[in-house]
Chains A and B, each alone.
Chain A
């Protein structure tokens, strides 16, 4: 069964500092990996996704993530955070299995990002 682990429940970063959010996954085939962001009272917005090709993917809002197959990781990074980046961040794994089945995206529990002035 597929699973996602986000080891950090909360992370506090100073405004302007760099950010890395960790994500480890378990998946039996080639994974499709995603990062979503959720602001309070809002739905989830897709930041970026990895399907294949270059292991460093660029997303919206200045975020990037690197897929490392050997470490089963897909960590999210941003070189300089802004106060508006404070939110909940979710890593998710999915795949392209055909024929249906219970293969919706599997989400991690999320990392709550706090930005200090």
Chain B
């Protein structure tokens, strides 16, 4: 157990729908990062939050959004889902605010869009 908790583990939904993925960081970590892993694109950095504020943005689509709450948990919202959004979505956390210093990953949410 890495200490980073992601729910749900699996999600199946239809095209056009909206889903919310949840992440609780390790105790004491202030930064939360979201990654998408797919067979064709590999691991892609989406977005980072540090202590409630957006800190860094990667290849995140406009249909996707995220936030970090006062208790430091984070949610990734995916809307107008397309078949191509099917992927593993990972959350990671770290103490440091700088995204390039490495972090601890959760076990991921597998999203299947049908």
Contact = CB atoms under 8 A, between A and B. Distances in A.
Provide the main secondary structure of the chain A interface: loop
A11 interface: no
Interface stretch (A14-22, A66-74, A88-96): A88-96
A103 B102 contact: no
A102 B57 contact: yes
B42 A43 contact: no
A45 B45 contact: no
A107 B43 contact: yes
Interface string B48-82: 10000001111100000000000000000000000
B90 A44 contact: yes
A98 interface: yes
Interface in B31-53: 33, 35, 42-43, 45, 48
B2 A97 contact: no
A43 B43 contact: no
A100 B97 CA distance: 9
Contact of B90 (A43, A93, A102, A106): A43
Interface of B: 2, 4, 33, 35, 42-43, 45, 48, 55-59, 90, 92, 98-108
A46 B3 CA distance: 13
A101 B100 CA distance: 10
Given A42-B107, A95-B100, A100 B42 contact: no
A11 B73 CA distance: 38
Contacts of A107: 42-43
Contact of B102 (A34, A43, A98): A34
Given A43-B2, A43-B4, A100-B55, A105 B100 contact: yes
A63 interface: no
A26 to B, nearest CB: 14
Contacts of B100: 32, 93-97, 103-105
